[in-house]
Structure 1
Amino acid sequence: MTLHAPASVFPKRSLTVRLATPRGFCAGVDRAIQIVERAIAKYGAPVYVRHEIVHNRHVVERLKSLGAVFVRELDQCPDDRPVVFSAHGVPKSVPDTARARDMFFLDATCPLVSKVHVECERRHAEGRHIILIGHAGHPEVVGTMGQLPAGAITLVETVEDAQTFQRPGDAPLAYATQTTLSVDDTAEILSVLRARFPELPEPHKEDICYATTNRQEAVKRLADGSDLVLVIGSQNSSNSVRLVEVALKAGARDARLIDDASHIDWSWFDGVETVGVTAGASAPERLIEDLIAAIHTRFDAEVTEDDGAREAVTFKLPRVLTN
């Protein structure tokens, strides 16, 4: 009979783990979560939240445990409890409805999304038709299109859409973008639009937010020299999905989006010597820590942290929550 030693006595295979910088929460996500937490602390449970406050299952479940109730629309909310609007922004009809019902509401829209709303309204007031680059059905896009009357904005999702877009009559044009898009893909779409409509004015400031740009640049650095890139984030998180796409385009042999460490298929690590790890802007840092711990149980892992942009951005909370 051949005796086999327990697996634990075999030496673990070496693995290099590279952590992206920056990764995880951005200032807008942090602000939105704090708004819900502070509202519960100040007004008691339940506090209602229209749509997911941010697109991350772990964040949502934790806030539920504190007393948040997540709903799709205001008709699921009582009139006498606070309601929070998500970080992605809402159409103007939503706060209008809340005011008509004399509801107390807190707007957790990311200030950088609100900037896009203001830009669209300003360009509309100039008599321009707005081209919005974004993904159909995403809450941010729904909210941005809902700032203006129907027909005032045309959604462009792809290069093909940009090639076939038809100007409504002789209206002058302007453009805006969803804040969580691929920087490179958006540049391709804009190059087509600018070639067709050279008079397109630039927004006062870049619409794709600093956090999206920084995380995509960081994942490009990860992809260079990583056999596998793991992105922690939920499937409905636009910025997280974009990180996987950017990693693959930047040369990673493989890139995967995982909700947390429990969703790893360890066969992905076959033949992998270096793994890059990052997280979308709505993913808590503890998920990164859990992932590194899981890797340590299986590999002799050397963990390093890449250099990258250091973010010091913060956004003020609503005054009613800080008094």
Structure 2
Amino acid sequence: MTKPELTLYLAAPRGFCAGVVRAIKIVEMALEKWGPPVYVRHEIVHNKFVVDGLRDKGAVFVERLADCPDDRPVIFSAHGVPKAVPAAAAKRDMIYVDATCPLVSKVHIEAERHSQNGLQMVMIGHEGHPETVGTMGQLPDGEVLLVETAEDVATLDVRDPERLAYITQTTLSIDDTAGIVAALKARFPSIIGPHKEDICYATTNRQHAVKQMAPDCDALLVIGAPNSSNSQRLVEVGAAAGCPYSQLVQRAHDIDWRALDGIKSVGLTAGASAPEVLIDEVIAAFRDRYDVKVEMVETAQENVEFKVPRALREPA
């Protein structure tokens, strides 16, 4: 039987960003240097396939430092941790390696600098997300106020409206964040923003690619984990840009083929913690069912690379 024709628009950039590549490499190098088990506080990145692969090599994933023994190395995830966590590890004389993405660390440094200058911080982010928890945990309680929506700005109770600065989670929707920033500036005209946008290059690039292809797609599939903020934002961006069916899938077996019945074009992208092998798996699943023509939608080229910590580059 003849397969129906389908155009598959493949976003570029997509998938792994430099911070994710670095974080995974840190776990792999730690396993090589110290042998298993190596403990990782929280999922190193938000992707089950990646985490399961590292677990098979000897990584042990825990949610609390208290669940780690004193005599084994521990790695802090790419999302960052509150200051109290490395302090507690140092107090226990643990070997620890910080895999926080350098672009998240930049936000941490920014928050500390503003605080030292006497400013109270407003953080735009998602409550409970590990990156938000880690960033707010860089300063004492009460020094960072969280807003999730433009509506939240109206109820902010600040210490001094003339002494404020704002920072953002690195994986937010560019458009949604712009609306919150506008609300902050309208209510607090003196508020200071970051020198350079806190939303990271990878989040920005992936959202731009989705915006460009979404109007031409009958459906958009984003490969990523449900707890991946940047992946969830890609789904929302696709829907807002005009794609009638925008969905998150973790693997090819998650695709709802009945929902795609009769379609002629599909956009395909992946969150920053999803490996290329999962994209290849989804493309193969489409080729099984359709006569596929792949068209690349490239909106940027990425050549960013982050070094791993010196502790891992030195011999044991």
What TM-score bracket applies, with the shorter chain setting the length? Answer: over 0.9
Q: Which residue in the other structure is 1:176 paired with?
A: 167
Residues 48-91 of structure 1, C-alpha deviations (whole Å, 9 max, x = no match)? 00000000000000000000000011111111111000000000
1:59-208 matches, within 5 Å, as: 59-169=50-160, 172-208=163-199
What is the TM-score with the length of structure 1 in the denominator? 0.96
- Residues 1:320 and 2:311 are matched in the alignment: yes
Gaps of 5+ in 1: 1-9
Q: Which residue in the other structure is 1:18 paired with?
A: 9
Code of the residue aligned with 1:123 in structure 2: it is H
How far apart, CA to CA, are the structure 1 residues paired with 2:160 and 2:22? 42
How far apart, CA to CA, are the structure 2 residues paired with 1:167 and 1:72? 32
Shift of 1:198: 1.2
Picking from 217, 220, 228, the partner of 1:226 is: 217
Residues 149-193 of structure 1, C-alpha deviations (whole Å, 9 max, x = no match)? 000010000011012223224561000000000000000001111
How far apart, CA to CA, are the structure 2 residues paired with 1:301 and 1:191? 43
Q: Which residue in the other structure is 1:31 paired with?
A: 22
Between the two proteins, what is the percent identity of the paired residues?
60
Shift of 1:201: 1.6
Q: CA RMSD in A?
A: 0.8
Cα contact 1:56–1:282 (8 A) shared by 2: yes
What is the TM-score with the length of structure 2 in the denominator? 0.98
- Residues 1:235 and 2:235 are matched in the alignment: no
* Paired residue total: 314
> Secondary structure at 2:12's aligned position in 1?
coil
Cα contact 1:129–1:171 (8 A) shared by 2: no
> Secondary structure at 1:224's aligned position in 2?
helix
Code of the residue aligned with 1:125 in structure 2: it is Q
Q: Which residue in the other structure is 2:266 paired with?
A: 275
How far apart, CA to CA, are the structure 1 residues paired with 2:255 and 2:58? 30
Cα contact 1:223–1:229 (8 A) shared by 2: yes
Code of the residue aligned with 2:110 in structure 1: it is E
How far apart, CA to CA, are the structure 2 residues paired with 1:210 and 1:123? 23
Gaps of 5+ in 2: none
Picking from 286, 296, 300, the partner of 2:291 is: 300
> Secondary structure at 1:89's aligned position in 2?
coil
Cα contact 1:16–1:273 (8 A) shared by 2: yes
Cα contact 1:127–1:171 (8 A) shared by 2: no
The higher radius of gyration belongs to 1
Shift of 1:319: 1.2
Cα contact 2:103–2:200 (8 A) shared by 1: yes
